[in-house]
Structure 1
Amino acid sequence: MSTNIVLPTLTAFTSSHLTAILTAKTQANFTTAFDALFAHKLNVFYNGKQVSREEFKAQLLSQSSAAPEERAANVTVQGQLEVPGDKGQISGLVGLFYTSLVDSKFLIMGAPAESKVTSSFNAIIQATESQPQSNVHVHGYFDPRRIVTVNQIATDQALHVTIPAASVNSSSPGVTTTENVSSGPGPRKLPPGPFGGHWGPGPVHLNPIESNARPETFPGDGEFGVGPVVIPGETIGKGTHTKA
């Protein structure tokens, strides 16, 4: 008794295999997933430029968790559209809109660097593969479909990393730091000092009315310097004595 095998829809086929490519942990798993989605004879347009299959493969590898400098990728398909061919789900057109958040193995100020890939992915799918004889008695189904043409527009954006408050020195309360993964540490914002400045108190300026500023004068000021100090009730010079 034979059973008709129902293949996944074109969008399910494309999104599941593309997710497997971008989330592969090793380059071997990445290559297996890539070959399961893309035909050996592949036409590729990436950001308006025609590239080879190997160049496109290297581009997707750099966005996946299998890249040497990456740790993990989280793919979210936010929109999908399909147009089945004249043979139903065996061929047709698929459009996907997805985002991928990729965590780097490198740390910036103790926090993982992260990048966001936003992409519009449009593909033409055809049945290009013939079932190998070795799989005749293997349980499961064989999917002959592969993408033969892909037109992808993608942007790769480095995200800012906010340093957790616990990692900031407790002796500097209120200090906040913003890190830009692509350009290194950003500006550090310091709290105002007790006198209003970031680098200590500035110069003090008093109003002349408040300071009552006027030049000081001393008795005997002249060309020979300050004169003698006069104490009230006493005289200066030769004293005179009177008898009572």
Structure 2
Amino acid sequence: MSSNIVLPDLPNWVEQRITALYSAKTADAFSSAFDAFISQDASIKVNGKPTSRDEYKQMIQGEITGDVGAQVTFNGIASVPSEDKDLRAIGTGSVGAFFTAEVFGKFFVFGAPQANTVSSSLNVMYV
């Protein structure tokens, strides 16, 4: 008996990868999530300026270092499949995601965990 592997569509895949990044509780878990999401050959721009993959990794990791988890809420997601019919079949194209991550810290303030909010938008092109 064989079973077919069903892959998520590109917008769901992007949501899963972003959630994994912000929910990582250790440096190793973050590195694994980052490597599973961001290609070694990625072209990255932050606020319109080219950024290296390592700089981008440090920037994102700096938003969650020492945290115990996060609640990621997607405020909007839009996708455009690849124009090539064969490529569309394997889920390539572009995705724009707008999200908010409430990142919980280890410390408590007035009985509630310290939290920081990260609001971001991200454009992903998967070819």
TM-score (norm: length of structure 1): 0.46
Residue aligning to 1:143:
none
Q: C-alpha displacement at 1:106, in angstroms? A: 3.4
Q: Which has the higher contact order (CA 8 A, sep 6+)?
A: 2
Residue aligning to 1:11:
11
Question: Unpaired segments of 5 or more residues in structure 2?
Answer: none
Residue aligning to 2:34:
34
1:119 equivalent to 2:120? Answer: yes
Task: Tell me, yes or no, if the aligned pair for 2:100 and 2:117 is still in contact at 8 Å.
Answer: yes
Residue aligning to 2:78:
81
1 CA distance for matches of 2:111 and 2:8?
Answer: 43
Q: C-alpha displacement at 1:2, in angstroms? A: 6.5
Go from structure 1 to structure 2 and tell me whether the alpha carbon gap of 1:56 and 1:3 turns closer, same or farther (over 3 Å shift): same
Q: C-alpha displacement at 1:112, in angstroms? A: 3.5
Residue aligning to 2:60:
60
> Residues 171-228 of structure 1: CA distance to partner in whole angstroms, max 9, x if unpaired?
xxxxxxxxxxxxxxxxxxxxxxxxxxxxxxxxxxxxxxxxxxxxxxxxxxxxxxxxxx
Go from structure 1 to structure 2 and tell me whether the alpha carbon gap of 1:7 and 1:115 turns closer, same or farther (over 3 Å shift): same
RMSD after superposition? 2.0
The percentage of aligned residue pairs carrying the same residue is 38
Residue aligning to 2:20:
20
Residue aligning to 1:71:
68
1 CA distance for matches of 2:59 and 2:72?
Answer: 16
Give the total of aligned pairs.
123
2 CA distance for matches of 1:3 and 1:104?
Answer: 41
Go from structure 1 to structure 2 and tell me whether the alpha carbon gap of 1:47 and 1:106 turns closer, same or farther (over 3 Å shift): farther
Q: C-alpha displacement at 1:109, in angstroms? A: 5.5
Residue aligning to 1:96:
97
Larger Rg: 1
Go from structure 1 to structure 2 and tell me whether the alpha carbon gap of 1:41 and 1:111 turns closer, same or farther (over 3 Å shift): same
Amino acid at match of 2:92: S
Q: C-alpha displacement at 1:111, in angstroms? A: 4.7
2 CA distance for matches of 1:3 and 1:105?
Answer: 42
Q: Which runs of 4+ in 1 moved over 6 A?
A: none
Go from structure 1 to structure 2 and tell me whether the alpha carbon gap of 1:63 and 1:2 turns closer, same or farther (over 3 Å shift): same
Q: C-alpha displacement at 1:95, in angstroms? A: 0.7
Amino acid at match of 2:91: I
2 CA distance for matches of 1:44 and 1:17?
Answer: 16
SS in 2 for 1:32: helix
TM-score (norm: length of structure 2): 0.84
Question: Unpaired segments of 5 or more residues in structure 1?
Answer: 127-244
